[in-house]
Amino acid sequence: MAKPVTTFVCSACGATHKKWAGRCDACGEWNAITEEAPLSQGPAGKGLGAAKGARVALSDLRTEEAAPPRHSSQMNELDRVLGGGLVPASATLVGGDPGIGKSTLLLQAAASFARAGLKVIYVSGEEATAQVRMRAQRLGLADSAVLLAAETNLRDILTTLEAEAPDLAIIDSVQTMWLDTVDSAPGSVSQVRAAAHELTTFAKRRGTAVMLVGHVTKEGQIAGPRVVEHMVDTVLYFEGERGHQFRILRSVKNRFGPADEIGVFEMTGAGLSEVANPSALFLSDREKPSPGSVVFAGIEGTRPVLVEVQALVAPSSLSQPRRAVVGWDGGRLSMILAVLEARAGITFQGLDVYLNIAGGMRINEPAADLAVAAALLSAREDAALPHDTVVFGELSLSGALRPVSQAENRLKEAMKLGFSTAIAPAGCKISQNSGVTVQSMEDLPSFVGEVFGAG
């Protein structure tokens, strides 16, 4: 039988070539031709579908499937992010910057699960078992029944896991693992993918829940956690500003629960402690009414969270004024500035703009638009908003304010924390007796007029 030949395919137009060339003859694109591995043709002479495979059992959607049983970690914040507890046979990726506290979190979780009666194996590819034990001592977990191993060879790890059949296996980190069947260095895209693939198939096959740690990397030498996101059931990111003690565990994908849920932790001298009421924490060091500071009533997943949006506007000495953002999207800030200029006639030309979300929190919600606009205006006009006011609403490019979801929940949280007024888009579903006075705004010009006078 003829050997399948390697083909060269243009990634721009899809044309195939017999040999590599710098420029594609078909579309004229430069540097777009890449080598493509030949497709396997299977056993010689037999096409697919020729009644040689096994028949797959089919069922329909009406087949009853019991809800997956879950194990509680006894850590409310972690359970919430997992969608209500750990699902057996699931694969979870925990990503985050180096040093943010992933190993600490997972060691605490491992001890918690072990205390609840699960068999837990913690495999560290980065630290020696003595180091892990030292950390456990510091966390007050030295007497827990977690089984430890320091190993990076995946073949040995899988052999051990097969024999031990734990309920939960933690692999810290997937970038240190290597397979002898893959021909590249540990940490490369193909090694990381192969390791994650082996571990997730092991999880499905044996019913062991697997948690993988993945470091977010800055340079391209080492594959980041993104390359395995599609293989796992749940993707969690552990984030926070290095200088702050708050850490936020956020689910960005979850096959067993809502995504975008957050768990809030505080890094202390004795490990991570849970923060049950994050709003109180994020607002705790708020001073007197100050220009540029606005409280945003946000929703993270299913939970309302109040955070402080801070803006500073100052005359610029640069020809291109500075736009600096921490905790929010820079592109979205440019958009808000443009809408303020085009729809309300308020320009930030020649002014440096700094925007910060207090407490190291990161906001992705469009509902924060109005709070950001309010903070920018308040800083520019040097006029503080009343101290007991929260703001939320999405801004459209036309300058109209769009209603946002869960307005009731936002107001309830605001009332709980002692706020008495809310500025919100007209058209939000709000019942009369929410306990908070709501000022409804149709659009940006009316907001500017009512809150800041004529501007």
Using CB under 5 A as the criterion, which residues of the chain lie in contact with Mg ion when the complex forms?
A: 103
Sign of CA dihedral 280, 383, 322, 343: positive
- Nearer Cβ to ligand TYD (259/267): 267
Binding mask 341-380 for ligand TYD (x = CB under 6 A): ----------------------------------------
Contacts of 233 (CB under 8 A, 6+ apart): 87, 90, 91, 92, 254, 255, 256
Closest distance of CB 439 from ligand TYD, Å: 43
Closest distance of CB 96 from ligand TYD, Å: 6
- Nearer Cβ to ligand TYD (271/393): 271
Neighbours of 451 (CB within 10 A): 20
- Nearer Cβ to ligand TYD (105/358): 105
Interaction of residue 101 with ligand TYD, rule CB under 6 A:
yes
Contact 402, 393 (CB under 8 A): yes
Among residues 81, 82, 91, 87, which one has the least CA distance to residue 67?
A: 87
Helices (H), 247-318: 278-282
Residue 99 labeled ligand binder: yes
d(CA 375, CA 313) in angstroms, rounded, equals: 10
Report CA 140 to chain centroid distance, whole Å.
29
E strand residue ranges, 31-119: 33-36, 91-96
Q: Which amino acid is present at 302? A: T
Binding mask 213-252 for ligand TYD (x = CB under 6 A): ----------------------------------------
Q: From the list Mg ion, ligand TYD, none, pick the one residue 234 interacts with, judged by a Cβ distance below 5 to 8 Å according to partner type.
A: none
Q: From the list ligand TYD, Mg ion, none, pick the one residue 47 interacts with, judged by a Cβ distance below 5 to 8 Å according to partner type.
A: none
Structure tokens at 395: 């801004």
Half-sphere exposure of 361 (CA within 13 A, CB side): 26
d(CA 182, CA 41) in angstroms, rounded, equals: 22
Interaction of residue 267 with ligand TYD, rule CB under 6 A:
yes
Residue 101 labeled ligand binder: yes
Q: From the list Mg ion, ligand TYD, none, pick the one residue 91 interacts with, judged by a Cβ distance below 5 to 8 Å according to partner type.
A: none
Interaction of residue 104 with ligand TYD, rule CB under 6 A:
yes
* CA separation, residue 182 to residues 19, 124, 179, 426 (Å): 26, 21, 6, 59
Q: From the list ligand TYD, Mg ion, none, pick the one residue 269 interacts with, judged by a Cβ distance below 5 to 8 Å according to partner type.
A: ligand TYD
Residue 96 labeled ligand binder: yes
* Total chain residues near ligand TYD (CB under 6 A): 15
Closest distance of CB 175 from ligand TYD, Å: 11
Residue 260 labeled ligand binder: no
Report CA 63 to chain centroid distance, whole Å.
33
Structure tokens at 352: 């440096």
Interaction of residue 271 with ligand TYD, rule CB under 6 A:
yes
Report CA 184 to chain centroid distance, whole Å.
29
Closest distance of CB 213 from ligand TYD, Å: 7
Helices (H), 55-153: 76-82, 102-115, 129-138
Closest distance of CB 88 from ligand TYD, Å: 25
Residue 100 labeled ligand binder: yes
Kindly tell me the burial class for residue 138, based on how many C-beta atoms sit within 10 Å of its own C-beta (0-12, 13-18, 19 or more): middle
Closest distance of CB 312 from Mg ion, Å: 35
Closest distance of CB 249 from ligand TYD, Å: 12
Closest distance of CB 139 from ligand TYD, Å: 6
Interaction of residue 103 with ligand TYD, rule CB under 6 A:
yes
Among residues 199, 133, 194, which one has the least CA distance to residue 160?
A: 199
The DSSP result for 347-358, as a single string, is: --TTEEEEEEEG
Considering only residues 22, 47, 220, 269, which one is a binding residue for ligand TYD as defined by CB under 6 A? 269
Among residues 427, 430, 422, which one has the least CA distance to residue 396?
A: 427
Contact 269, 101 (CB under 8 A): no
Closest distance of CB 396 from ligand TYD, Å: 39
Q: What are phi and psi of 377, to 5 degrees?
A: -65, -45
- Nearer Cβ to ligand TYD (100/337): 100
Residue 350 labeled ligand binder: no
Residue 369 labeled ligand binder: no
Residue 97 labeled ligand binder: yes
Interaction of residue 98 with ligand TYD, rule CB under 6 A:
yes
- Nearer Cβ to ligand TYD (89/267): 267
* CA separation, residue 367 to residues 160, 306, 334, 419, 440 (Å): 49, 12, 16, 18, 14
Considering only residues 99, 258, 330, 449, which one is a binding residue for ligand TYD as defined by CB under 6 A? 99
Binding residues for ATP: 96-103
Site residues, ligand TYD (CB under 6 A): 96, 98-104, 135, 138-139, 267, 269-271
Binding residues: 96-103
